[in-house]
Copies of this chain bind each other. A is one copy, B any other.
């Protein structure tokens, strides 16, 4: 069995010339003997255009009806176009190819329109098609409910589609993108950032949720759950004159025990997608704090970090928590609406914050990782506003102005630039 799923994103499908380049890469894999399914995104910018139309068709001022089944009908069309165009292009390179819509395979999802989750992909028919030598071109992002309505998986869902198809076909997944792999940190911030040969599912999952843009978080969760080896590769390659690809580099996302090179810290990430909300003069009673976080949870506001500090009077505290920036004003409104009940004096929202994180499975067995982090930040005069940790990461909230400085300091402190 030499099946392979290849995924090309919106930039790689951006115009006919790029689609031809992707087709040449696919042809090289077929020439090398692989049985290939290709998962494609819509042309870059297309999904935004379609979303804007659904927005305009909605009630004035009501915004996009993301949960609407008809939103999905409109937005899923972008991937249908690129799937057909790639299949045509592959045929014109002499390959056997056809498109397989989400409803044809089918890619069965729940009915949470606009953010559906894949429930099942029967692999037998698609598997037989690729094993027969046909390149199966699958539109990413889209699925179908059990009663036959079109769904979409939410933005960036094509990565998840690709991993799910690979799981159904029981094969690895190569994700072609406009970067050539997963880096120790964002190379636009730290020129010394180094591409990782391999990274574990767990580390990649933390990196994706903490700001690394290279893969969608849900696709990594799925790859981890289904044990799908995922390789992130640059789509800016060309087969040679004999139609052979250069040896694959990029980054392989795999099990921890498949990684020979042991590191304590694998990467440093930065996210500006945070907001800090502070309640001044909150009564120092456990019931009050519990009530506040119940309110937020009921409104689906995810709270990340929480810090409590002394206030002006001994009976009150100042309470700081962070949420996604998108939820910040809603969280503040909810809190204000409950001011009588909670009894605080004032609420303040600060969006001028950044979350900087260090991630590595080696933290499990190595002490001193936090110490190195705090020392490196202190040396640069960066004040830590809040902290959160997991078994394999430490995140700190800092003033946004220091974010890049902090990333570079931590990248150096853990020696990530070394080969």
Q: Is the CB of B103 within 8 A of A58?
A: no
Residues of B within 8 A of A73 (CB): 80, 83-84, 87, 99, 101
Q: Is the CB of B87 within 8 A of A70?
A: yes
Pick the residue among B59, B91, B99 that contacts A92 (CB under 8 A).
Answer: B59
Indicate if A161 sits at the interface (CB-CB under 8 A).
Answer: no
Q: What sequence of 0s and 1s flags, for each residue 220-244 of chain A, a beta carbon within 8 Å of any chain B beta carbon?
A: 0000000000000000000000000
Indicate if A104 sits at the interface (CB-CB under 8 A).
Answer: yes
Check A85/B81 contact, CB under 8 A, given A16-B53, A59-B92, A92-B59: no
Q: Is the CB of B65 within 8 A of A88?
A: yes
Q: Is the CB of B68 within 8 A of A88?
A: yes
Instruction: Name the residue of chain B whose CB is nearest to the CB of A148.
Output: B104
Residues of B within 8 A of A91 (CB): 68, 70
Residues of B within 8 A of A70 (CB): 84-85, 87-88, 91, 97-99
Alpha-carbon distance between A54 and B82 when the two chains are bound, in angstroms: 10
Q: Is the CB of A58 within 8 A of B88?
A: yes
Indicate if A165 sits at the interface (CB-CB under 8 A).
Answer: no
Alpha-carbon distance between A337 and B50 when the two chains are bound, in angstroms: 51
Q: Is the CB of B80 within 8 A of A74?
A: yes
Q: A59, A76, A85 — which one has the most chain B CB atoms within 10 A of its CB?
A: A85
Check A150/B57 contact, CB under 8 A, given A88-B65, A91-B70: no
Indicate if A69 sits at the interface (CB-CB under 8 A).
Answer: yes
Indicate if A8 sits at the interface (CB-CB under 8 A).
Answer: no
What are 23 residue pairs bridging A and B, where the CB atoms are less than 8 Å apart in the complex?
A: A50-B81, A53-B85, A54-B84, A57-B85, A57-B86, A58-B92, A59-B92, A62-B92, A68-B91, A70-B84, A70-B85, A70-B88, A70-B91, A70-B98, A71-B84, A71-B88, A73-B83, A73-B87, A74-B80, A74-B84, A74-B85, A74-B88, A77-B78
Instruction: Name the residue of chain B whose CB is nearest to the CB of A85.
Output: B57
Instruction: Name the residue of chain B whose CB is nearest to the CB of A74.
Output: B84
Q: Is the CB of A89 within 8 A of B57?
A: yes
Alpha-carbon distance between A192 and B104 when the two chains are bound, in angstroms: 54
- Which residues of chain A in 32-83 are interfacial with respect to chain B, using CB atoms and an 8 Å cutoff? 50, 53-54, 56-59, 62, 65, 68-74, 76-78, 80-81, 83
Indicate if A164 sits at the interface (CB-CB under 8 A).
Answer: no
Indicate if A19 sits at the interface (CB-CB under 8 A).
Answer: yes
Residues of B within 8 A of A77 (CB): 77-78, 80-81, 84
Alpha-carbon distance between A222 and B213 when the two chains are bound, in angstroms: 54
Closest Cβ of chain B to A140, distance in Å, is 15
Q: A65, A86, A99 — which one has the most chain B CB atoms within 10 A of its CB?
A: A99
Q: Is the CB of A88 within 8 A of B54?
A: yes
Closest Cβ of chain B to A53, distance in Å, is 6
Residues of B within 8 A of A98 (CB): 69-70
Residues of B within 8 A of A83 (CB): 73
Q: A68, A72, A88, A104 — which one has the most chain B CB atoms within 10 A of its CB?
A: A88
Closest Cβ of chain B to A75, distance in Å, is 8
The 7 A-B residue pairs whose C-beta atoms are closest, nearest first, are A73-B84, A74-B84, A57-B88, A77-B77, A16-B56, A70-B87, A70-B84
Residues of B within 8 A of A80 (CB): 73-74, 76-77, 80
Q: Is the CB of B69 within 8 A of A101?
A: no
Alpha-carbon distance between A54 and B57 when the two chains are bound, in angstroms: 28
Alpha-carbon distance between A16 and B73 when the two chains are bound, in angstroms: 16
Alpha-carbon distance between A53 and B89 when the two chains are bound, in angstroms: 11
Q: Is the CB of B57 within 8 A of A19?
A: yes
